[in-house]
Amino acid sequence: MVRQIKQTPMNWVERLYIFEAFRGLFTTLKHFLRGLFRYETLPTVPYPEIKPEIPRDYRAKHRLMLRPDGTPRCVACFMCATACPAHCIYIEAAPSVDGRIEKRAVRFDIDHLVCVFCGLCVEACPVDAIRMDTQDTSYVHRNREDFITPMYDLTAWDPKQYPQNDTQSQVAPGGSKNQQALEAWGLKVH
Amino acid sequence: MLALIYFLILGVIAVGGALCVLLSKHPLYGALSLVVTMLSLAGIYGLLGSPFVGVVQVMVYAGAIMMLLTFVIMVLNGARDNRTPRFDKISLFVIPAIILMALMLSFLILRTPLVFNPETARGTVSLTAATLFDTSASGPGYFLLFEAIGLLLLSAMATAVILAKKKLGSPETSDSEEVH
Amino acid sequence: MMEIINSKHWIEWLLIVAKFAFAFVPVLFILLLIPMERRGAGFIQDRQGPNRSYFWLPYFGRIRLFGWVQNACDGLKLFTKEIYAPNGVNKILFALAPAIPFVIVLISPCVIPWFAPMVFTMGDQVVRVSGNTVDSEVGILLLFGLSSLSAYGAVLAGWASKSKYSLLGGLRTSAMTISYEVCLGLSIMGMLLMVGSFRIDDIIAWQEAHVWGIVAQPIAFFCFLISMIAETGRAPFDVAEGEPELVAGFHTEYGAMQFGLFYMGEYSHIGINSILVACLFLGGYSVPFFSQTTIQANMGYSLAVLCGVFILLILTFLHMIYRYSRWYKTSAATNKTVILREYSLYKLLGWVAIPALAIIGVASALFIHPEFTLVDGKAVYGLGIAFGTALIQILVLLVKACFFCFVWIWVRWTLPRFRYDHVMNLGWKVILNIALVNLVITAVVAKLVLGGN
């Protein structure tokens, strides 16, 4: 939607500049006094000590969702790797051991130096296997290779750190709904 | 005694600065030496019991006029100025003129009785004001001169503005300058 | 030689020598101005500003002093960097240029009166010591002259750097200095006309007797303040170092302490100009609503009030500390314990200082009974009372000057930089004319109302 903002010409008081300058001075004075006397209300926080609250839907580091028995939900369909504009996802598929599912991923690497955090992989996934809601925005490594995150790291998340109404997270091993989901899913076919 | 020592120091600096103005190759160095001369002259005025004149010397000459001169030199920033010889044909006329001036001045100074008493105030603010503007005490002479100089400076300023305006208004002159 | 020494009382000589220390007051203003600028800028832009630098104390841990340690860090960094000159610069002028503003700033405070002329009895002698280092009758002109000289630093730096940006910065500095020097002189003339003297002492005495200059000459005050801001080369008039056009203006090629000298020169210039504005328009060292004789006659109570003011300030400070502590305790900060430990030091100092000040205040109110001798019909007090008066007056002057320091920073972080031709237009077409009209009106009014010749 294009909204047209009508620019009114300045009246003579505004064109004199001096009164507008005083208005500006008043504004900055308000901000200065707020910083001086209400220091804790400043919108900025001292970062490393106080971490900002990152919303759940912020596109942060990826994680792979888990089935109740602890295997990744990924069915190695390559949708995410195809959708990825940066080509940062590397998947190796193998036949699944579970008869109900055709394929599984034996390798699932995401190169976080290449990733552009666009979230298209999350959109593309047909089985809700990949998500970006870890709230983990800053991760540091010493070598470039360490930024290539393997499946082991992508699945190493704790269901307790996710909200209770997030069913998909809670059915994973360690989650509050794991037991009942495991019964519904059935034991491993071995 | 103390005043004499100060005078000697300031005098040497003033004369040295003036010589540097004559001998320096680059006009900016000349201007800077002139600033030094002005400042030491201001010191000498202060020593003579006229701080007002000294301070005006600092403010007007060292502060404003020399700043303007520096500005002009920097705008015209000619690197070739470094290569102008120290003495050329024009010096033939300049040097005799300087010598003549020095002779005249020394003649005058030798004829003047030198009574130097730094204690007496000569150029304080009130004294200067009374001399210039109090027509009942010193007659209208200085006052008239003051006004005449004011008028002269005003007319000079107006002329400068008119000249500058003419140059800005007509593009032909600026074109011809570029061709040249 | 002995005659000169014997011509004055020894205490007078001592005070004359001690007054040279006032030359460093504008330089000390840097200590105030840098944190004020950095954190003030932060607050104005809703940030926190630099507050991380700290020093370490045995029990209390990291002491940050709310960002004041940043001064030491800045200085240390500038001192330890390599002094570097690019190829082809004019070595002598390049090295000389940064020193000029700084030297001028050290010279110029000599004419500023820090306190009213001290008159006190010492034994059976009456000693009179002026409040400024040089008691000159052209004080304010000397200040203007010196401050116009300080622009040579920028101009020479611009020329000596052999860089186009520097040269343009230097050119702009020189042009702006000339323009605003005129406005500066003319806008103050109305004030001087009413006072009838160039001596800053007389100007302050006139304001003490009548009204503050800001009330008597409000238009001149604004013209003067704007010209002063322009003359220090600060935003919104910092076209000489405008970074969108010229990289950093005249100090593009400077680094390390050479740049530091420019920096210190600029900030001390702000300090000295703030003091000057306070002297000319806010009554300088004169305490509002109380004349000097009242203060001297009730020295004990005056000191008690001073202590009370300090106690109030410390209480405000403690209130803020307690509020921050409470906030930190409930927040999720990982350095909670460190901060609270640091704040415990401030709390301790505050709670030690308040009773100490209270005792001093009460004691001075109870036990100081000034005794005077009449000299020429005026009451003249002893040395202690004179020192007490001078202390109060210096504090009052510094408080007024600090307010103007804040104005400098406040204006800088509010108004955007003017374009160069706008600066020139403002100087020559607006402020100069307003100042001229103001001068004419003042002259007419002074002739008609106040009389005089």
> Are chains A and C touching, using the cut-off of 8 Å on CB pairs and a minimum of 3 such pairs?
yes
Question: Which residues from chain B sit within 8 angstroms of residue C137, using beta carbons?
Answer: 51-52, 124-125
| CATH assignment of the domain containing A78 | 3.30.70.3270
On whether residue A16 sits in a domain, the answer given is yes
Chain A residue whose CA is closest to C334: A49
Q: Which of the residue ranges B72-81, B83-92, C147-156, C435-444 would you say has the lowest mean pLDDT?
A: B72-81
Is chain C adjacent to chain B, meaning 3+ CB pairs within 8 angstroms?
yes
With an 8 Å Cβ cutoff, is A54 touching chain C? no
C322-348 mean pLDDT: 87
pTM of the model as a whole: 0.82
Amino acid at the residue A4? Q
Q: For residues A89 and A22, state if they share a domain.
A: no
Q: Which two tokens stand for residue A20?
A: 């507008």
Q: What is the pLDDT of residue A30?
A: 92
For the cut 90, the answer to whether the pLDDT of residue B52 exceeds it is no
Q: What is the pLDDT averaged over residues C322-334?
A: 85
Residue A50 forms part of a structural domain: no
The DSSP 8-state label assigned to residue C83 in this structure reads P
| Residue percentage of chain C with pLDDT more than 90 | 9
Q: Does C333 touch chain A (CB under 8 A)?
A: yes
Residue A5 lies in a domain: no
- Asked if the bond preceding C236 is cis, omega within 30° of 0, the reply is yes
Which residues of chain A are within 8 Å of residue C43 when distances are taken between CB atoms? 31-32, 34-36, 42
User: Does the pLDDT value for residue C197 go beyond 80?
Assistant: yes
When pLDDT is averaged across residues C330-358 and rounded to a whole number, the result is 89
Distance CA A98, CA A115 (A): 31
**Longest CA pairwise span in chain C (Å):** 74
**Has residue B178 got a pLDDT over 60?**
no
Answer yes or no: is A180 within a domain: no
Q: Does A119 map to a domain?
A: yes
Q: Which of C398, C182, C439 is nearest to C279 (CA)?
A: C398
Q: Is residue A129 assigned to a domain?
A: yes
CB of A110 closer than 8 Å to CB of A125: no
| Partners of A131 in beta bridges | A63
Q: Which of the residues in chain A have pLDDT under 50?
A: 189-190
Cβ-based neighbour number of residue B175 at 10 Å: 10
* Candidates A25, A37, A44; nearest CB to C47: A44
B84 vs chain C: nearest CA distance in angstroms? 18
- Looking at the fold, whether A144 and A70 belong to one and the same domain comes out as yes
* Residue A37 contacts C where some CB pair is shorter than 8 Å: yes
Q: What is the mean pLDDT of residues C182-205?
A: 86
Torsion of the alpha carbons at C24, C25, C31 and C37, rounded to the nearest 10: -130
Mutate to test the interface with B, among C1, C104, C149 (most CBs of B within 10 A): C149
**Mean predicted confidence (pLDDT) in C329-351:** 87
pLDDT digits (tens, 9 = 90+) for C127-170: 888 888 887 788 888 888 888 888 888 888 888 888 888 888 88
Reported as a single tens digit per residue, the pLDDT across C74-86 is 888 888 988 888 8
Token pair 């600060």 in the structure block, residue: C234
Statement: residue C220 has pLDDT above 60: yes
B neighbours by CB contacts (3+ pairs under 8 Å): C
Under 8 Å CB-to-CB from B6, ≥6 apart: which residues? B43, B47
Question: Looking at residue C452, what is its pLDDT?
Answer: 57
SS (H, E, C) chain B: CHHHHHHHHHHHHHHHHHHHHHHCCCHHHHHHHHHHHHHHHHHHHHHCCCHHHHHHHHHHHHHHHHHHHHHHHHHCCCHHHHHCCCCCCCHHHHHHHHHHHHHHHHHHHHHCCCCCCCCCCCCCHHHHHHHHHCHHHHCCHHHHHHHHHHHHHHHHHHHHHHHHHHHHHCHHHHHHHHHC
Half-sphere exposure of C75 (CA within 13 A, CB side): 10
* Pick from A166-170, B71-75, C75-79, C362-366: least confident: B71-75
Q: Do A46 and C333 touch (CB under 8 A)?
A: yes
A146 and A88 within one domain: yes
The 3-class secondary structure across chain A, one letter per residue, is CCCCCCCCCCCHHHHCCHHHHHHHHHHHHHHHHHHHHCHHHCCCCCCCCCCCCCCCCCCCCCEECECCCCCECCCCCCHHHHHCCCCCEEEEEEECCCCCCCEEEEEEEEECCCCCCCCHHHHHCCCCCEECCCCCCCCCCCCCHHHEECHHHHCCCCHHHCCCCCHHHHCCCCCCCHHHHHHHHCCCCC
Count Cα neighbours of C368 within 13 Å in the Cβ-side half-sphere: 23
Residues of B in contact with C141 (CB under 8 A): 52, 55-56, 59
Q: Which residues of B touch C (CB under 8 A)?
A: 28, 32, 35, 51-52, 55-56, 58-59, 62-64, 67-68, 70-71, 74-75, 77, 124-125
- Any domain includes A136: yes
Q: Which of C149, C170, C182 sits opposite B74 (nearest CB)?
A: C170
Picking from A71-75, B94-98, B117-121, B175-179, which range would have the lowest pLDDT averaged per residue? B175-179
Assess whether A40 and A67 both reside in one domain: no
Contact B35 C152 (CB under 8 A): yes
pLDDT reported for residue C310: 93
How near does any CA of chain A get to the CA of C54, in Å?
15
**Residue B180: pLDDT band by 50, 70, 90 thresholds?**
very low
Q: How far apart are CA B55 and CA C72, in angstroms?
A: 38
Largest pairwise CA distance in chain B: 64
Q: Is the pLDDT assigned to residue B79 strictly greater than 60? A: no
Sign of CA dihedral C211, C213, C217, C218: negative
Under 8 Å CB-to-CB from C251, ≥6 apart: which residues? C98, C154, C157, C166, C169, C241, C259, C262
pLDDT in tens, C108-133: 888 888 888 888 877 777 888 888 88
This model of the complex carries an ipTM of 0.82
Q: What total of structural domains would you count in chain A?
A: 2
Assigned token pair, C21: 């220390």
Interchain contact A/B (3 or more Cβ pairs less than 8 Å): no
3-state SS assignment for residue C287? coil
Q: What is the spatial order of strands in the sheet that A103-111 belongs to?
A: A89-95, A103-111, A148-149
At residue B156, the pLDDT reads 92
Residues A32 and A83 occupy one common structural domain: no
Rounded CA-CA distance A4/C398 in Å is 52
In 3D, which of C154, C160, C175, C44 has the Cα closest to residue C99? C154
Conformational region of residue C162, where left means phi above 0, alpha means psi within -120 to 50, and beta covers everything else: left
Best CA proximity match to A135, nearest among A162, A173, A112: A162
Instruction: Tell me, yes or no, whether A16 and A95 share the same domain.
Output: no
Residues 145-204 of C with CB under 8 A from B: 145-146, 148-149, 151-152, 155-156, 158-159, 167, 170-171, 174-175, 177-178, 181-182, 185, 197-198
Please name the residues between 24 and 83 in chain C that touch chain A, using a CB distance below 8 Å.
39-40, 42-48, 51
The pLDDT value given to residue A189? 47
- Reported as a pLDDT band with limits 50, 70 and 90, residue B13 is very high
| Residues of chain C contacting residue B35, judged by C-beta atoms under 8 Å apart | 152
Which residues in chain C are contacts of B75 at CB distance < 8 A?
A: 171
Please report, as a single letter, which amino acid is at residue A24.
G
Give the number of C-alpha atoms closer than 13 A to the C-alpha of residue B55, restricted to the C-beta side: 23
Of B19, B26, B16, residue with least CA distance to B85 = B26
Q: Are residues A17 and A74 in the same domain?
A: no
Report pLDDT for B153. Answer: 92
* Residue for token pair 């809670």: A170
Looking at the fold, whether A39 and A114 belong to one and the same domain comes out as: no
| Chain C residues lying within 8 Å of A25, measured CB to CB | 410-411, 414-415
Establish if C334 touches chain A: CB-CB under 8 angstroms.
yes
Looking at the structure, do residues A32 and A84 belong to the same domain, yes or no?
no
How far is the alpha carbon of A25 from chain C, nearest alpha carbon, in Å?
A: 6
Question: Does the beta carbon of C327 lie under 8 angstroms from any beta carbon of chain A?
Answer: yes
The domain containing residue A25 runs over which residues? 11-44
Task: Identify which of B63, B75, B77 has the shortest CB distance to residue C145.
Answer: B63
Can you say how many angstroms the Cα of residue C137 is from the centroid of all Cα atoms in its chain?
Answer: 22
Give the three-class secondary structure for C131. coil
List, for residues C381-435, the tens digit of each pLDDT value.
777 888 888 888 899 999 999 999 999 999 989 988 888 888 888 888 888 889 9
Same domain, A72 and A123: yes
Please, which residues 355-374 of chain C have a Cβ atom closer than 8 Å to chain B?
Answer: none
Angle (CA) C265 C266 C270, round 5°: 115
- Could you give the percent of chain A with pLDDT greater than 90? 21
For residues C152 and A44, what is the distance between their CA atoms, to the nearest angstrom?
A: 42
CB contact under 8 Å between C159 and B74, yes or no, is yes
On whether both A24 and A112 belong to a single domain, the answer is no
Helix C164-195 vs helix C200-209: crossing angle, to nearest 10: 50
For chains B and C, what is the number of CB pairs under 8 angstroms?
69
Q: Does A35 contact C at CB distance below 8 Å? A: yes
Burial class (CB in 10 A: 0-12, 13-18, 19+), B140: exposed
Q: Decide if A190 is inside a domain.
A: no
- Same domain? For A39 and A69 the reply is no
pLDDT given for residue C4 in this prediction: 73
Residue C116 has a pLDDT of 83
